[in-house]
Amino acid sequence: MAIAFAVVMSEVFVKEADPGWVATGNFIVHTSDGPNDMDQAVVAILSKMRYCRIARRASCALVHAVGGYIHGMCMHDPLLLGQCGAMVMAAGRGKRMRPLTDTCPKPLLRVRGKPLMQWAIEALARDGVRNILINTDWLGEQIEAYFADPSIIAALAPQHPDAATPADPPVRLSFSREGHDFGGALETAGGITRALPGLADPFWLLAGDIFAPGFQFCEQQRAAFIASDALAHIWLVPNPAHNPKGDFALSSEGLARNEGPLRHTYSTIGLFRHALFAPPYCEIAPGNPQGTRAALAPLLRLAAQHDRLTAALYTGPWTDVGTPERLARLQLPGVF
């Protein structure tokens, strides 16, 4: 008998699936008011629909939080609604990295002995972000298997050797399995919208295939972003050789501009509000139950057009590891 998990806030409701119910750890729950102290819920699992009942107090909190939808991602480690402070994008195919990525997902390619994405996760954990969501597609099972190793999880956030010092919370990883659910990656905005119910508001976003070991996920920067009316705050970098024209200009007021005499490259690191992934900027339904594919760039362009996109220039070490040659260069002594 398959078991389905419905994650509502910090509680897990378990229901035995009816015969023929497709067993999966990924689902959408849409709630509607019921006639008594329970709410009816429609559970969409792949192409199947089933009804179950969840407590009104939980579903009311759910409705206010994510517009009536809740999105679970992992049967073995259910996702806590809105608890992940960062999302690491790891669903790309990495075609330019072939043949290396024919048998290894790009974020697991090693730089100086560690997978690319492990550098990013360790940096997040170092700066206090311990609940992290990862989206996957190509060879995504390898990413989950790698981080299932307890020794790897422990290494992400080493504890203080002094027993008198309170232990830091462990790193918790959740996964949005786009390949499993929809047969392929949903692109950046599609993947974010799919994962959005599991993300804090605001949340950090970064690509799993960049190398920026010195970047600081500063809580002060996050607090300043919360105090602003921006929908996103992105970090720009000096233009690398493969993107000489850049992506955004930077005004003296710290606003990102679509045009300008000097444009910089989007580093794929930023802080984002949920509101950027809702109308009028994004028309995808909460939780992206249809698996709509959509790019992030048009949303950022629209936010910049309305003065709702801020930016800063990051001049520390940064590499978009997009080719085998760039990967090989990072292994050389003295680089960074």
Domain span including residue 67? 3-72
Q: Please report whether residue 78 resides in a domain.
A: no
Q: Based on the domain organization, do 161 and 49 belong to the same domain? A: no
What is the spatial distance between Cα 173 and Cα 140, in angstroms, rounded to a whole number?
Answer: 14
* DSSP state letters, 209-247: TEE-TT----HHHHHHHHHS--SEEEEEEPPPTT-TT-S
Q: Please report whether residue 116 resides in a domain.
A: yes
Q: Which of 72, 103, 133 is the last residue of a domain?
A: 72
Q: Based on the domain organization, do 316 and 241 belong to the same domain? A: yes
Q: Based on the domain organization, do 158 and 287 belong to the same domain? A: yes
What is the spatial distance between Cα 301 and Cα 170, in angstroms, rounded to a whole number?
Answer: 37
Peptide bond connecting 35 to the previous residue in cis, omega within 30 degrees of 0: no
Q: Based on the domain organization, do 89 and 190 belong to the same domain? A: yes
pTM of the model: 0.75
Q: Based on the domain organization, do 44 and 89 belong to the same domain? A: no
The CATH number assigned to the domain holding 131 equals 3.90.550.10
Judge contact between 39 and 53, C-beta under 8 A. Answer: yes
Domain count, the chain: 2
Q: Based on the domain organization, do 34 and 131 belong to the same domain? A: no
Q: Based on the domain organization, do 172 and 117 belong to the same domain? A: yes
Q: Please report whether residue 79 resides in a domain.
A: no
Q: Based on the domain organization, do 157 and 235 belong to the same domain? A: yes
Name residues whose C-beta falls within 8 Å of residue 49's C-beta, 6 or more positions apart in sequence: 42, 43
| Percent of the residues in the chain that have a pLDDT greater than 70, as a whole number | 71
The pLDDT of residue 11: 32
What confidence tier does 81 reach under pLDDT thresholds 50, 70, 90?
Answer: low
Judge contact between 128 and 120, C-beta under 8 A. Answer: no
Distances (CA, A) of 336 to 32, 67, 249, 313, 322: 54, 45, 26, 18, 17
What is the spatial distance between Cα 18 and Cα 4, in angstroms, rounded to a whole number?
Answer: 10
Helix (H) or strand (E) holding 43: strand 38-45
Q: Please report whether residue 145 resides in a domain.
A: yes
Q: Based on the domain organization, do 67 and 98 belong to the same domain? A: no
Q: At which residue do the structure tokens 């919208």 appear?
A: 193
The pLDDT of residue 19: 35
Distances (CA, A) of 263 to 141, 237, 302: 38, 10, 17
Range scoring the smallest mean pLDDT among 68-77, 177-186, 231-240? 68-77
The mean pLDDT value for 210-219 works out to: 92
Residue 225: name the closest of 263, 168, 293, 271 by CA.
Answer: 271
Q: Please report whether residue 111 resides in a domain.
A: yes
For residue 171, give the DSSP letter. P
Chain segment 304-326, per-residue pLDDT in tens: 999 999 999 999 999 999 898 99
3-state secondary structure of 214: coil
Name residues whose C-beta falls within 8 Å of residue 75's C-beta, 6 or more positions apart in sequence: 3, 5, 24, 25
Q: Based on the domain organization, do 66 and 123 belong to the same domain? A: no
Q: Which of 50, 72, 94 is the last residue of a domain?
A: 72
Q: Based on the domain organization, do 302 and 179 belong to the same domain? A: yes
